[in-house]
Amino acid sequence: MISSIIFCILFLSGSLFFAINVKKIRRNILLGRDVDLSGNKDSRLKTMMLVAFGQQKMFSKPIPAILHLFLYAAFIITQIELIEIIVDGVSGSHRVFRPSLGGFYTFMVSFIEILSVLAFIGTIAFLSRRNLIKIPRLTQNELNGWPKLDANLILLAELTLICFIFMMNGADEVLYSKRLSHAQNLNDDSLNLSISKHLGPLIFGGLSEQGLHTAERIGWWGHIAMVFGFLNYLPFSKHLHIVLGFPNTYFSNLQKKGKFATLESVTDVVAPNFDPAYVPKTDPNNPQRFGVKDVQDLTWKNLLDAYTCTECGRCTSACPQNITGKKLSPRKIMMDTRDRLEEVGKNIDANKGTFVDDGKSLFDYITKEEIWACNTCNACVQECPVNIDPLAIIMDMRRFLVMEESKAPNELNLMFNNTENNGAPWQFSPSDRANWTKEI
């Protein structure tokens, strides 16, 4: 009875804390401008199933894709066992579904154990790739400090969770063999789980009855405590993509890559000169900024992208500008956007729901050098495993610099002047544009 009360308190407080943080993240995302992405439901659902659920784009790099698949499959399937643990925790029962499911129960828990072993292998491999092999895209400067610690902490937590699972199942396997389990079925002398039936006697076979019950309870409580801890760690971690990857891929940009959106605020200024009957699409009493200065000028989808970023670095490793030594890193663009958005959110919390101008902007995080280094090739967009679009943020920040502050690089200013005066980017008059044909 006492254990059930403790479990319920842990369950309710953990769920409440998670809900509060999710609400803050949702509020932060909705600080962005509205954009209608409600159409093309069939295409969006197909994209989500292929990219998020099916991990389609991960397999451009087969080895990490297979390792990630181990963790992904274990995470998804293990939720089945988690349902039983929650029911057991609330009711005070133990392996409540086993009597009714029989052999299917043994099959499912055995399958979960096999996936857990594969997840253990994958986790060790990922730790090695980051800290021993030091894959270049996983050791770049933007990952120094918290991002690197965050990645290692979650991998170590996964190892701990797996150890608790086998501690729980292994000790219970020995208890069953001695007919001492508190869920003992008198006709059974073994759980007969695929891994624990070998691992349990090897590790826990020499323990006393009290020692076995203690080990099993440590494994059970450790498992659920790690789950609740992981749940409430997600809002502060890059691993939030586990949850947000699905809506982010559903709301993907379905337009052809390279097609840039026009600014309604610009159209509303220009269109009336050609069509007196044109009806403005933006509110004249609340004019939109040309381009993006701060996170509030981005769309909610841009901000959802920022929270969904996995920090895997595939975008940066594919960026030709980064490869050639330029300062631009698409991954850093997304991380900086998220950091600024978090700062704005804390400002709102500190001022009772109102944002107080702090004199900062997104340009305090992302430099002009980074913005102008991009050659808009869309390699970063193509490579992202969850369909994040760093280029959209880069282009809108450029628009702000050009259209609001007239701070384009000299090379572009020359092109703008030539286009305005000569009708072409080159420095000669329109009448001279065909002179090259005289040489043929």
Report residue 181 CA to chain centroid gap. 41
Least confident of 107-111, 182-186, 271-275: 182-186
Q: How does residue 315 score in pLDDT terms, banded at 50, 70 and 90? A: very high
- State how many domains the chain has: 2
Q: By percentage, how much of the chain surpasses pLDDT 90?
A: 64
pLDDT at res. 418: 85
260 shares its domain with 223: no
Of 376, 418, 381, residue with least CA distance to 398: 376
231 shares its domain with 379: no
Q: How does residue 319 score in pLDDT terms, banded at 50, 70 and 90? A: very high
Q: What's at 188, amino acid-wise?
A: D
Look up residue 1 and give its two tokens: 């009875």
Look up residue 225 and give its two tokens: 């405590």
The domain boundary, picked from 238, 262, 290, lies at: 238
Q: Identify the DSSP state of 94.
A: S
pLDDT at res. 131: 93
313 shares its domain with 411: yes
Contact between residue 19 and residue 286 where contact means Cβ atoms under 8 Å apart: no
What percent helix, strand, coil does the chain show, rounded to 5?
70, 0, 30
Q: Is the pLDDT of residue 98 over 70?
A: yes
The domain boundary, picked from 238, 262, 297, lies at: 238
Q: How does residue 188 score in pLDDT terms, banded at 50, 70 and 90? A: low
233 shares its domain with 257: no
195 shares its domain with 271: no
The radius of gyration of the chain from alpha carbons, rounded to an integer in Å, stands at 28
- C-alpha 25/C-alpha 244 separation (Å) is 11
Burial class (CB in 10 A: 0-12, 13-18, 19+), 206: exposed
Q: Is the pLDDT of residue 440 over 80?
A: no
Q: How does residue 31 score in pLDDT terms, banded at 50, 70 and 90? A: very high
232: helix, strand or coil: helix
Look up residue 343 and give its two tokens: 């700062």
- C-alpha 126/C-alpha 121 separation (Å) is 9
Render pLDDT for 257-314 as a digit per residue (tens, 0 to 9). Answer: 878 888 888 888 888 888 888 888 877 777 778 889 999 999 999 999 999 999 999 9
Of 242, 253, 227, residue with least CA distance to 310: 242
Return left, alpha or beta for 288; rule: phi > 0 is left, psi -120 to 50 is alpha, else beta: beta
Domain that holds residue 203: 2-23+61-238
pLDDT at res. 185: 57
343 shares its domain with 226: no
